[in-house]
Amino acid sequence: MRTLVVGDIHSGLRALEQLMERANVNSTDHLIFLGDYVDSWSTAVETVDFLINLKKTHNCTFIRGNHDELCRNWLLTKEENPQWLAHGGTATRDSYINVKRENWNDHLDFYAGLENYFLDSDNRLYLHAGYTNLKGVDFEYFDQLFYWDRTLWELARALDPQLKPADPNFPLRLTHYKEIFIGHTPISKTTTAVPQKGANVWNVDTGAAFKGQLTMMDVETKEFWQSDPVHTFYPGERGRN
């Protein structure tokens, strides 16, 4: 059984379907999706429908992203957040407007059931964005940081690669987990990119909302697969570019 972690999809269902074929995903694999299932391309409803159905046949863990929470808030309140609309929410709103509202209930259940983080049996941590508490995720003060924080990746990327966890100067909040897998902060918005590692943190957001591909990684072997650039599946659309 493989554990496969998937970066931010941003409504790019067509890329996800290609990616699953390229990685030869089967029902014995554990798929861990790092959040941001919507906001960018036009197939938001179709993407969430696909994920809901995928869980019926595959072992899936779905992490909560900030865009998922923004979308859920709109579905519940109909309040249009200008920041959300400007950062991919317009395409998502339009996708939902085109389906009957009674069909939204399964999606609301999906969003409500997302997990803020997941810790596997090998002490690998998966979450959308980050955390700030020096003692680890169980001690975080504000749940919103799990899907909004950018300081974890900023810290990991800035560390001297020669600095080891046993060193007293190694950041305490990184020492609690064997590895950490995140999305949220695109490695590149303007060109293709591959997953990057800083300290023991892996970032697998390769810019699917922009000019990049969607990425899936085997957490044990670090082999990874990528779709074609997601924008090529949606000609005439801007995404978040």
Number of domains in the chain: 1
Instruction: Answer whether residue 35 is part of any domain.
Output: yes
- Whole-number pLDDT of residue 207: 98
Per-residue pLDDT at 238: 95
What local confidence, expressed as pLDDT, does residue 114 receive?
98
Positions in the chain short of pLDDT 50 = none
pLDDT at 124: 98
Residue 140: which domain range? 3-233
Q: Report yes or no on 76 lying in a domain.
A: yes
Q: What is the pLDDT of residue 74?
A: 97
Cα distance between residue 181 and residue 6, in whole Å: 10
Q: Is residue 239 part of a domain?
A: no
Element at 15 (helix H, strand E):
helix 13-22
Indicate yes or no: pTM above 0.85.
Answer: yes
Which amino acid, one-letter code, is at 131?
Answer: Y
Place of tokens 């957490």: 219
Please tell me the predicted confidence (pLDDT) of residue 32.
Answer: 98
Q: What is the pLDDT of residues 121-140, one digit of tens each?
A: 999 999 999 999 999 999 99
What is the CATH number for 145? Answer: 3.60.21.10
206/183 Cα distance (integer angstroms): 8
Whether residue 238 lies inside any domain: the answer is no
Residue 140 within a domain: yes
Whether residue 240 lies inside any domain: the answer is: no
Reference 114, options 50, 45, 32, 46; nearest CA is 32
Domain-located, residue 160: yes
Asked whether residue 48 is domain-assigned, the answer is yes
For position 101, what pLDDT does the model report?
82
Q: Of 56, 64, 62, 50, which is closest to residue 15 (Cα–Cα)?
A: 50
pLDDT of residue 180: 98
Q: Looking at 23-170, list the stretches that DSSP marks H as alpha helix, in order from N- to C-terminal side.
A: 44-57, 66-77, 82-84, 90-97, 104-112, 145-148, 151-158
